[in-house]
Structure 1
Amino acid sequence: MKSRKWTIGAVVMTFSMLMGGCGKEVAKPVDIVEGVDKCDVCHMNVPNDHNATEIVLQNGKVLKFDDIGCMHRWTKEHENESVEAKFVRDYLSQEWVNTDRATYVYDKSFETPMGYGIYSFKDKEAAEAFVKEKQTGLVMSVQELDKHTWERSMKKHGKHKGDSESDQHGSKDDQHGMQDNQHGTQEAQQTQN
């Protein structure tokens, strides 16, 4: 009698465990629709390229970003949101990769839509080979990326509302440099005349 109760209990427990694991689908990234999808932070169009990133919320809503820096900003501004998964694109193949499994390379000279200069790779070896080939860049794990300073290159990019003071300071430095350069050009022209 005891063995029969034990067998029934084991069957019920096994069935419960199997049913519990079958109820929820694994979060997956969705296709980018160029010309339609806009970044959930900067509201720029999201190109279907290696810079695109996505967040899947627990309610199933998918947020799209044109730059990993925008995804980082959204995450910091919405810390209480229930995020199911985050995805980046592999720089070489443009495959979607879970952020926790990717390796990142940063250099301020790397061009990205909002100037954060971070590329994602599906494996560390590819990231290291990229840095070796370009002879520049810092390879980072997802843990190191979380501690990253998230500074933006101001060369070709606008500013997000609420950017950090260091970004604003960099912008002022760029403006001063441009003014100095213009002043030097005017002096050179006057000397020639």
Structure 2
Amino acid sequence: MKKKTVLVLMVLVLALGVLAACGGKTEYKAVAINEGVDKCEVCQMLIKDDQYATQIILKDQKPLKFDDLGDLYVWLNKNGRDKVGAAFVRDYYTKEWINLDQAVFVYDKGIKTPMSFGVVSFAKEADADKFIKEAGAGKKMTVKELDSHDWAHSMGGGHGSM
């Protein structure tokens, strides 16, 4: 009887372990940009590994890379968010990947970005304030505000000027 009890307990522990692993939250991580090789999902231009690169990791773990935050939003507005696991942006100063939902943004039509959308991202609100002060222009924005932002190209650039 003891062997049967031990066997049942082992099966239950194993089953609980499998269920815990299946029920856990999927973790999404930003992937490296392969400079000079990777292309923007929207405009097909080569991506530079700098403060403007962004990416989406789909729920199936497939990365989609973009050369400008505006192109990431062009893709989202066309394709929706159902298949998106996470989105990442670069901190303008440190170039570290940060989750889109945790970033602070600065917009100004005079900010030069690869596709002329004029939006840059920061991990810290203080860094966004510093950028605005040094540039003498810019509007601080949240990710919620970006969802309703007019993603028009600034300064005559963008896809239409390629």
TM-score bracket for this pair, using the shorter chain length: 0.7 to 0.9
User: What's the TM-score, normalizing by structure 2?
Assistant: 0.83
What is the CA RMSD across the aligned residues, in angstroms?
2.4
Q: How does 1:24-173 map to 2 (within 5 A)?
A: 25-79=26-80, 81-159=82-160
In the TM superposition, structure 1's runs of 4+ consecutive aligned residues that sit over 3 Å from their partners are 15-18, 20-25, 154-158
5+ long unaligned stretches in structure 2? 1-8
The structure whose RCO (Cα within 8 Å, separation 6+) is larger is 2
Deviates more, 1:100-109 or 1:145-154: 145-154
Q: Is the 8 A contact 1:107 1:118 kept in 2?
A: yes
Deviates more, 1:59-68 or 1:78-87: 78-87
**Bigger share in helix:** 1
Change (3 A) 1:156 1:73: closer
Cα distance, 1:80 vs structure 2: 5.8
The residue identity in structure 2 corresponding to 1:50 is Q
Q: Is the 8 A contact 1:42 1:160 kept in 2?
A: no
Determine what percentage of the aligned residue pairs are the same residue. 43
Find the aligned partners of 1:92 and 1:22 in 2 and give their Cα distance.
37
Find the aligned partners of 2:122 and 2:48 in 1 and give their Cα distance.
18
Q: Point out the structure with max Rg over C-alpha.
A: 1
Find the aligned partners of 1:98 and 1:139 in 2 and give their Cα distance.
17
5+ long unaligned stretches in structure 1? 1-7, 162-193
Find the aligned partners of 2:121 and 2:96 in 1 and give their Cα distance.
10
1:105 partner SS: strand
Aligned length: 150
Q: Is the 8 A contact 1:29 1:96 kept in 2?
A: yes
Change (3 A) 1:157 1:72: closer
User: What's the TM-score, normalizing by structure 1?
Assistant: 0.70
| Cα distance per residue 1:83-126 (max 9 Å; x no partner) | 00000000000000000000000000000010000000001111
